[in-house]
Chain A
Amino acid sequence: QKEVEQNSGPLSVPEGAIASLNCTYSDRGSQSFFWYRQYSGKSPELIMSIYSNGDKEDGRFTAQLNKASQYVSLLIRDSQPSDSATYLCAPGEGYALNFGKGTSLLVTP
């Protein structure tokens, strides 16, 4: 079963700062990763996907994948209070994955 580990936080950053969320994974064969955002009481929603080593940027979000070190990260630039949520990472074909608690992010005004 594919496993990931994330620091559960809470990670607190001031508005306008860069939030950095990290995820390590156990399966060297994982080729793709997804980041989901989950607001309290809501279901997870996909915000970023990354399929190859390196960086992928989408607006204020940048996903970084390092297969050699088996970690994937999500950077949120110009953090806004509306970014306050729990962020979950998951590998592709990770259907049997228990997501873990994710990382709780709090952006303070």
Chain B
Amino acid sequence: DTGVSQDPRHKITKRGQNVTFRCDPISEHNRLYWYRQTLGQGPEFLTYFQNEAQLEKSRLLSDRFSAERPKGSFSTLEIQRTEQGDSAMYLCASSLVGENSPLHFGNGTRLTVT
């Protein structure tokens, strides 16, 4: 169990650029989640997958955000035409299916949009 891995750890980009983040979950976990967190707030749910299927997406999520998990293993989160308000920590978590399965978080990707 190597834990949840996220790449990159930090990303600085200029407004209007596209960025893509990667998450590698714990290998036997079939659920994968993306959250966003800004200073002083708790993690805000963005979307989650069960295997390769994207089962839920936050209604607050702009259509500039898209996530994929093509083979049910790693996932990518892309933000198009970044805005300064997108600056945040992007957290990935994974879990097994079931009520008794906690989330295991990666170290996050910190995005700064200048």
A contact set with B: CB distance below 8 Å: 30-32, 34, 36, 42-46, 49, 51, 86, 88, 90, 92-93, 95-102
Contacts and interface: CB of A to CB of B under 8 A. Distances in A.
Interface in B59-112: 89, 91, 95, 98-108
B48 A95 contact: yes
Given A34-B103, A45-B105, A92-B99, A101 B40 contact: yes
B45 A90 contact: no
B56 A102 contact: no
Given A42-B107, A43-B107, A43-B108, A98 B45 contact: yes
Nearest to A43: B105
Interface residues of B, number: 25
A50 to B, nearest CB: 10
A93 B43 CA distance: 16
Given A43-B105, A95-B56, A97-B45, 10 more contacts: A49-B100, A86-B42, A95-B31, A95-B103, A96-B48, A96-B56, A98-B42, A98-B44, A99-B44, A100-B42
Contact of B102 (A46, A86, A96, A101): A46
B21 interface: no
Contacts of A49: 100, 102
A90 B108 contact: no
Interface in B12-44: 31, 33, 40-44
Contact of A101 (B31, B42, B108): B42
Contacts of B41: 101
B45 A92 contact: no
Nearest to A45: B105
Contacts of B31: 95
Contacts of A34: 102-103
A102 B103 CA distance: 16
